[in-house]
């Protein structure tokens, strides 16, 4: 089955193909900060990567089955089901099943996904999207299980309980007097809007769709600076709905200059998804502006695996492979939508995937704590999961490879 960017409708597929043909006919331009003499990722290389991930997932499976917990990182180990990352391990199983059609992997995916079912009632934070969409969302896409659909609908209903008509956004975390937060919204929340669109597709009820659009527009207006960089956190007045301040919880702890690299990737991914789901060109334009900011940033390394923050006073040594993987997946999808920069975005995403597929970042089977990618950073300032492994880095890398497999033939 093709990835979701290519299966929405026959009309959208024809539109994407037309855009790509036009882009490929244009004069080839060199990319700033992107140079590579490597050949494009071969099908055999991609197959080998999925085989390694299949083995890594299988090694971790024994612990998952014994503990009923799911892997997050080497640093934090196996976490309870309510951890924000719990949806990614079952998501990885589903993505490997999609590529390999291995029935044993499918059975493991079904088992791991079922562990999360009670999370469909979780109204404590916005991360229900990460938990349920990455697990049940992929499961439903690949199996069309009516039970999976029901879980998605209930999870979306739980998610919108955090929506404020005054703010016109979903509250990400709880108010926090120590941080002077009344209604905190984080850029990561853009990803979890995909759960709401899935619920509208499943039910025909537009309420989920409208809330997702409201949240995206509010975030677009208040979370982004004039140069299309974004802060991690924005706080709103819970009574009036008015913007109060930009703040941080990840990235540089100076919110006036912070450009947390994974946050920029979350934004790019989120607004690309918003255009796919709505067809509203303001979201496409915003995604393109974010992409251009990232790709043109002077602190982008040549291999395109970002440091943990683009604008720290002194460039640190810690990279974040998760920021790179999310960015690559978003660029693959955006390349299918952009009418003018299609090839540029494709080549940038391809370069990132080439780097992540090198021995510098890609682990060998049976190593790296059974995770796929090395050199991922969770939270540098808080000294959490620095230059190590992250289950969601692996997830978005696999998703990016699947998207790349679909779209590269068009170039």
Contact 202, 249 (CB under 8 A): no
Rg over alpha carbons for the chain, rounded to the nearest Å, is 20
d(CA 314, CA 298): 13
**Active-site residue identified among 83, 125, 188, 303:** 188
**Beta carbons within 10 angstroms of residue 284's beta carbon:** 20
Q: On the CB side of 349, how many CA atoms lie within 13 Å of its CA? A: 33
Q: Under 8 Å CB-to-CB from 158, ≥6 apart: which residues? A: 120, 121, 122, 123, 128
d(CA 244, CA 99): 46
**Beta carbons within 10 angstroms of residue 213's beta carbon:** 20
d(CA 106, CA 288): 36
The per-residue DSSP string of 17-36 comes to: HHHHHHHHHSPP-PPTT---
Nearest Cα neighbor of 188 from 123, 146, 248 is 248
DSSP label at 408? G
Contact 274, 193 (CB under 8 A): yes
Residue 280 appears among annotated catalytic residues: no
d(CA 375, CA 118): 33
Maximal C-alpha separation, the chain: 56
d(CA 154, CA 157): 5
Residue 180 appears among annotated catalytic residues: no
**Active-site residue identified among 83, 125, 127, 394:** 127
**Beta carbons within 10 angstroms of residue 286's beta carbon:** 24
Question: Which residue is listed with tokens 């905190």?
Answer: 184
Assign 320 to helix, strand or coil: coil
d(CA 102, CA 406): 20
Element at 306 (helix H, strand E)? none
- Which positions are catalytic? 127, 188
């Amino acid at each position: 089955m093709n990835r979701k960017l290519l299966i929405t409708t026959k009309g959208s597929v024809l539109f994407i193909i037309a855009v790509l043909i036009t882009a490929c006919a244009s004069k080839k331009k060199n990319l700033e900060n992107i140079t590579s003499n490597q050949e494009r990722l071969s099908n055999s290389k991609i197959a080998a990567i999925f085989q390694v991930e299949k083995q890594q997932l299988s090694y971790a499976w024994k612990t998952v089955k014994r503990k009923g917990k799911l892997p997050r990182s080497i640093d934090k180990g196996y976490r309870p089901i309510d951890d924000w990352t719990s949806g990614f391990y079952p998501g990885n199983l589903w993505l490997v099943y999609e590529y390999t059609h291995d029935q044993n992997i499918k059975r493991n995916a079904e088992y791991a996904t079922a562990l999360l079912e009670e999370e469909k009632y979780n109204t404590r934070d916005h991360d229900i999207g990460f938990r349920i969409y990455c697990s049940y969302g992929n499961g439903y896409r690949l199996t069309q299980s009516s039970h999976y659909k029901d879980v998605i609908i209930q999870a979306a209903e739980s998610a919108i309980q955090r929506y404020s008509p005054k703010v016109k956004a979903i509250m990400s975390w709880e108010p926090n007097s120590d941080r002077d937060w009344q209604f905190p919204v984080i850029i990561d929340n853009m990803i979890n809007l995909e759960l709401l669109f899935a619920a509208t597709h499943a039910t025909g009820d537009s309420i989920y769709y409208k809330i997702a659009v409201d949240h995206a527009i509010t975030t677009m207006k208040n979370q982004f600076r004039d140069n299309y960089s974004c802060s991690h956190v924005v706080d709103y007045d819970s009574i009036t709905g008015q913007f109060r301040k930009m703040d941080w919880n990840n990235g540089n702890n100076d919110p006036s200059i912070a450009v947390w690299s994974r946050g920029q990737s979350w934004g790019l991914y989120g607004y690309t998804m918003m255009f796919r789901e709505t067809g509203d060109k303001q979201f496409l334009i915003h995604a393109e502006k974010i992409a251009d900011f990232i790709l043109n940033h002077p602190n982008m390394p040549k291999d395109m695996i970002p440091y943990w923050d683009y604008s720290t006073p002194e460039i640190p040594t810690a990279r974040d492979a998760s920021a790179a993987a999310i960015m690559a997946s978003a660029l693959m999808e955006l390349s299918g939508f952009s009418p003018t920069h299609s090839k540029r975005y494709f080549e940038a995403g391809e370069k990132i995937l080439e780097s992540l597929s090198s021995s510098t970042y890609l682990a060998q089977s049976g190593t790296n704590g059974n995770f796929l990618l090395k050199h991922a950073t969770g939270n540098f300032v808080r000294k959490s999961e620095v230059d190590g492994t992250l289950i969601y880095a692996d997830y978005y890398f696999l998703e990016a490879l699947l998207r790349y497999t679909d779209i590269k033939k068009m170039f």
